[in-house]
Structure 1
């Protein structure tokens, strides 16, 4: 065997290892669920089949002013394997486009809450609707073109009572529409209810 054929053989073996490691390289999975349904734990188990994972945390960082939220964040951090890398960012589109390892995004609900704040939705700042549309479309474009396995967690918020405040109704409506768009571009959509997982079929 010549050096050239040896190098080619080594190249193809490395490529085969990558395929075995990452499986379907463009698989996108959306996992929905209510509060404390077990959706995050299921997402972590689902993505853990990959040896290297980037955990994307787009929610608010912990703060001493909110010990309850800090405790939630600490519990999530404690569950992650040591070999996982954590990225805290609201730039989901940029993270998706620059990814070289499987991603777990947890979650779209906390991300949307921050985006609504950044574009001025809560205060009805002039032009906020356009800025929101641009952020959402940028993320959806990046989701559709993702080239690594990616699992996104999101809240299922459409099954409860109508929120009593305009801000709550806005969040519910936008997140419901976002979930629908993300699901349309996903290979699989799972719903977690009381710790039980249901695979959702074709969209209607």
Structure 2
């Protein structure tokens, strides 16, 4: 057996074990919503049926320089069940690929903001567009091939006013395009408005 077939066999065995563990009804769910719409709470409820969940926090960490943001993070942390494990990372692609437990990513909006900074988009550093495309495509490829139940929360950015700044418009355009790509490869896309859930597509249940 060649090394390639050995790796393939190993990947298929991992997928089979996860399928036996979680059943055939797991899916990929995108939860969209505006600020304070209740999207995070809804996503958390979707994952409550699983005995173990990995909560992926790709946003900016708490800082003494921004007490309001630190308070938001503390509020989210207080809601998480004790059996949930938190992972703080911007490497979403690697996290999804090596996942062996259900994942909740909250949220893609804060992840895009950090990635734009990491690739040099805010300063318009040479080559930032290519670096951004590579990061986004890497995550999208991992999302498509995910073998565990996974919920991603994201901001719906297409319903407000046009941002007044170049950076604001860049963020809106990148996140809007990413939401479209993630939705296209999701089993369920759900929009939360004022705490109410609108199911836009529904192909599989968690």
Which stretches of structure 1, 4 residues or more, deviate above 2 A after TM superposition?
A: 15-19, 21-26
The equivalent of 1:64 in structure 2 is 64
Aligned-pair distance for 1:23? 3.7
Match of 2:32 in 1: 32
2:128 pairs with 1:115: no
Larger radius of gyration: 1
Query: 1:2-50, CA deviations, whole angstroms, 9 ceiling, x for partnerless residues?
Result: xxxxxxxxxxxxx99974x624365100000000000000000001111
Q: Contact 2:18–2:147 (CA<8 Å) still a contact in 1?
A: no
State whether residues 102 and 150 of structure 1, in contact with CA within 8 Å, keep that contact through their aligned partners in structure 2: yes
Distance 1:67 1:115, change over 3 A: same
Structure 1 CA distance for aligned equivalents of residues 114 and 89 of structure 2? 10
Question: Any unmatched runs of 5+ in structure 1?
Answer: 1-14
User: Is the contact made by 1:30 and 1:154 (CA closer than 8 Å) also made in structure 2?
Assistant: yes
Paired residue secondary structure (1:49): coil
Q: Which residue of 1 aligns with 2:169?
A: 169
- Other-structure match for 2:178: 178
> How far apart are residue 136 of structure 1 and its match?
0.2
CA RMSD of aligned residues (A): 1.7
1:16/1:100 CA distance change after superposition, 3 Å: closer
Distance 1:168 1:155 in 2: 14
In 2, the alpha carbon distance for the partners of 1:194 and 1:170 equals: 26
8 Å CA contact 1:33, 1:192 repeated in 2:
yes
Q: What is the count of residue pairs matched by the alignment?
A: 187
Contact 1:31 1:190 survives alignment (8 Å): yes
TM-score (norm 1): 0.88
Instruction: For structure 2, list consecutive stretches of 5 or more residues without a partner in the other structure.
Output: 1-15
1:159/1:51 CA distance change after superposition, 3 Å = same
Confirm or deny: 8 A CA contact 1:32 1:189 kept in the other structure: yes
2: CA distance, partners of 1:115 / 1:16: 33
Preserved CA contact (<8 Å) 2:18 2:148: no
Provide closer, same or farther for how the CA distance between residues 67 and 159 of structure 1 changes in structure 2, counting only shifts above 3 A: same
